[in-house]
Amino acid sequence: MNIEDKKVWYPYQQMKLDKRIYKVLEGKGPYLKIENLEKNEIKDLLDGVSSWWCAVHGYGNEELNNAIKEQVDKIAHVMLGGLSHSPVEKLAEKLVEITPDGLNHVFFSDSGSVGVEVAIKMAIQYFSNQNLKNKKKIIGLTNAYHGDTFKAMEIGDEPDFHGAFKHTFKDTFHIDPPKGGFNSSDEEINVALSILEDLLISEADNIAAFIVEPLIQASGGFIVYSPKYLEKARELCDRYNILFIFDEVATGFGRTGKFFATNYTNIIPDILILGKALTGGYLGHSATITTTKVFKGFWSDSYEHAFMHGPTFMGNPLACAVSLKSIEIFQRDNYLDKIEKINSILKNELLEFKHELVKETRVFGVTGVIEVKDSKILKEFQKYAYEHGAYIRPFGSYLYIMPSYILDEVEVKKLCTIMKNYILEYLNVK
């Protein structure tokens, strides 16, 4: 193929090496119907990654389809400039109802990354509106991922993704989360907190916010850490007058086992960001939700203090209608029970799995990971998964699944078996 013929520029891909052979024809439930261009065959594959973790109901859910069809006959899109509409008002109300008490005001955007940008802009302007213009730096965690737009890259810590831009980054500090996983010891938590406090002692006058992916750093390697750290960090953020931001783009809507990762703690962040599963994985959309304290920071008789941001597609009626239906299904069909069941199967299947090629296995909510010692081991995995009827896409040294919540026991076990058998058969397959 000539370089000119490569019309689609695919994500995270060295296009020169791209040999894309899977073409999705349709999706039904947890299955993707895939045409394999190399083998000239069509196959239904059980999807283990739910389209970067957003398709929590699987594909082609009839109720979600109908929510969009009904809305499209009314209006597909209209700007929120000077106008409002029912789906956006209802969704804002619903999000305020289901997120922890105190988060009251919702700003919509069209992707997780932009939702993060919005949160950072809000934090910086919150202080500049008080004439605290030095408070503009941000603290992030090492190994964090918050998206691919500029400030989101900068507050993240992903050399593999964003190394090409590192020389443009400034105004950000990175600190380690506590070691020890979900149940860190007090000592491990104190070590991490003292790093945070030392930074705040010297720099708080220049810092606007501390942003975290609460409890699990997903793209950074599925690193789980303690809710107690977040509770104590909340106290430090208050003491040193900086805002605390939770990026729940990946963790929101059940992925960690509770509705939101925030629900594992007794605190609320000043700003919470939701995306991905917000629309049930149907359309790009995100919600940046703030406390009234933050909202009040913009409340004035002057436009100078207003939040001057407005993505064209914010509050898109189709996205809002499908989000409302997705949340309705989530609550009505007791998704948290489904999630708990999947979690216990994942634990049984993966946590005891030991092998000389495996560094560690981790399970948190509906996320199961086999971390291997050398990423090269996973090179042939995708083909192997295809042959065994699944679509699973590892990255780095992480062989992971983050499937939809509609899988039955057999399907969850099938995904785990494929992962484990690949490792067990590795020396033969190679």
Report the alpha-carbon angle 220-420-27, nearest 5: 70
Interaction pattern, residues 177-216, with ligand PMP; x per rule: CB under 6 A: ------------------------------------x---
Torsion from C-alpha of 185, 189, 191, 196, nearest 10 degrees = 180
Which stretch in 163-171, 247-255, 350-358, 422-430 sits in contact with ligand PMP by CB under 6 A?
Answer: 247-255
Distance CA 87, CA 287 (A): 14
Take residue 342 and report the two structure tokens written for it.
């999947």
Site string for ligand PMP, 256-275 (x = CB under 6 A): -------------------x
Alpha carbon distance 270, 16 (integer Å) = 44
- Does 250 bind ligand PMP (CB under 6 A)? Our answer is yes
Give the nearest distance from C-beta 149 to ligand PMP in angstroms: 7
CB 273 within 8 A of CB 149: no
Which one, 218 or 423, has the nearer CB to ligand PMP?
218
Alpha-carbon dihedral 49, 54, 57, 58, rounded to 10 degrees: -40
281 lies in the site for ligand PMP, by CB under 6 A: no
Q: How far apart are CA 304 and CA 298, in angstroms?
A: 9
Rounded least distance, CB 52 to ligand PMP, Å = 6
Hey, which residues between 378 and 397 contact ligand PMP (CB under 6 A)?
Answer: none
What is the C-alpha to C-alpha distance for residues 220 and 167, in angstroms, rounded to an integer?
20
Binding status of residue 279 toward ligand PMP by CB under 6 A: no
Considering only 208, 215, 249, 412, the residue that binds ligand PMP (CB under 6 A) is: 249
Q: Which of 51, 99, 109, 113 binds ligand PMP (CB under 6 A)?
A: 113
Closest contact distance (angstroms) between CB of 248 and ligand PMP is 8
Considering the complex, state which of residue 111 and residue 226 has its C-beta at the smaller distance from ligand PMP.
Answer: 111
Catalytic residues: 12, 145, 247, 276
* Stretch of residues binding ligand PMP (CB under 6 A), selected from 35-43, 243-251, 321-329, 398-406: 243-251
Contact partners, residue 189, CB within 8 Å, separation at least 6 = 178, 180, 226, 228, 229, 232
Give the Cα-Cα-Cα angle 292, 298, 303 (nearest 5 degrees): 150
Q: 146 or 234, CB closer to ligand PMP?
A: 146
Provide the strand spans (E) within 271-327. 271-274, 286-291
Distances (CA, A) of 229 to 29, 194, 304: 38, 11, 37
Number of residues counted as binding ligand PMP (CB under 6 A)? 15
CB of 175 to ligand PMP, least distance (A): 17
Nearer to ligand PMP among residue 386 and residue 400 (C-beta)? 400
Q: Which is it for strands 398-401 and 368-372: parallel, antiparallel or unpaired?
A: antiparallel
CA distance 145 to 221: 10
154 near ligand PMP (CB under 6 A) = no
Instruction: Indicate the residue whose CB is closest to ligand PMP.
Output: 112
DSSP letter at 314?
A: T
Report in angstroms the alpha-carbon separations of 199 from 172, 174, 194, 225. 12, 10, 8, 20
Asked if residue 58 binds ligand PMP (CB under 6 A), the reply is no
Strand partners, 43: 34
Q: Which stretch binds ligand PMP (CB under 6 A): 110-118, 201-209, 358-366, 387-395?
A: 110-118
d(CA 91, CA 87): 6
Please state the closest distance from residue 116 (CB atom) to ligand PMP, in A: 5
- If one asks whether residue 145 binds ligand PMP (CB under 6 A), the answer comes out as yes
**What is the C-alpha to C-alpha distance for residues 30 and 339, in angstroms, rounded to an integer?**
15
CB 143 to ligand PMP: min, Å = 11
Selected range binding ligand PMP among 14-22, 244-252, 257-265, 401-409, rule: CB under 6 A: 244-252
Phi-psi region of 322 (alpha: psi -120 to 50; beta: other; left: phi over 0): alpha
- The window from 140-148, 189-197, 329-337, 371-379 that contacts ligand PMP (CB under 6 A) reads 140-148
Q: Is 146 in the site for ligand PMP (CB under 6 A)?
A: yes
Give the contact letters, 209-228, x = binds to ligand PMP (CB under 6 A), - = no.
----x----xx---------
Q: What is the contact surface with ligand PMP in residues (CB under 6 A)?
A: 52, 111-113, 116, 145-147, 213, 218-219, 247, 249-250, 275
